[in-house]
Amino acid sequence: MSAIIGTVRITRVTYLEDEVFEGDIPREAHDNARSEDFECDDVEEAVRAIQREGLTFAATGTDWAANPDGSYTSDYATGERTETTAHLHGFAPFHVNAIIERVG
């Protein structure tokens, strides 16, 4: 059994396009975000969790990943949009760097 080296948290924020003000998603949408944690015992497992969602670090230029195409319409009937991001927790800096490099 391998030891957990860190957690990838996939977060989905949903909001209505009409609620966006000056490019900002409403605070309530972030408060009601849905998150799913993936405990990873190696870098490849973390990479797969992020790539499975179609996210990249290149989309943000930082240490968290997002969809390079931005948010997407998740419910055409209501106009609901979803923004998906991935955040790394508990990884050693060299693991973070390796994940970012592999995901791109």
Higher confidence at residue 27 or residue 92? 92
Q: Are 50 and 20 in contact (CB under 8 A)?
A: no
Q: Is 49 helix (H, G, I), strand (E, B) or coil?
A: helix
Residue 73 resides in a domain:
yes
Q: What is the DSSP string of 1-44?
A: -PPP-EEEEEEEEEEEGGG-BTTBPPHHHHHT-EEEEEEESSHH
Is residue 45 one of the residues assigned to a domain? yes
pLDDT at position 1: 57
Question: What span, in angstroms and rounded, lies between the C-alpha atoms of 55 and 30?
Answer: 18
Task: Look at residue 82 and tell me if it is in a domain.
Answer: yes
- How many domains are there within the chain? 1
pLDDT of residue 19: 87
pLDDT tens-digit profile of 51-72? Answer: 999 999 999 999 999 999 999 9
Whole-number pLDDT of residue 61: 94
Position 1 in a domain: no
Each residue of 9-55: pLDDT tens digit? 999 999 998 888 888 888 888 888 999 999 999 999 999 999 999 99
Which range marks the domain in which residue 56 is found?
6-103
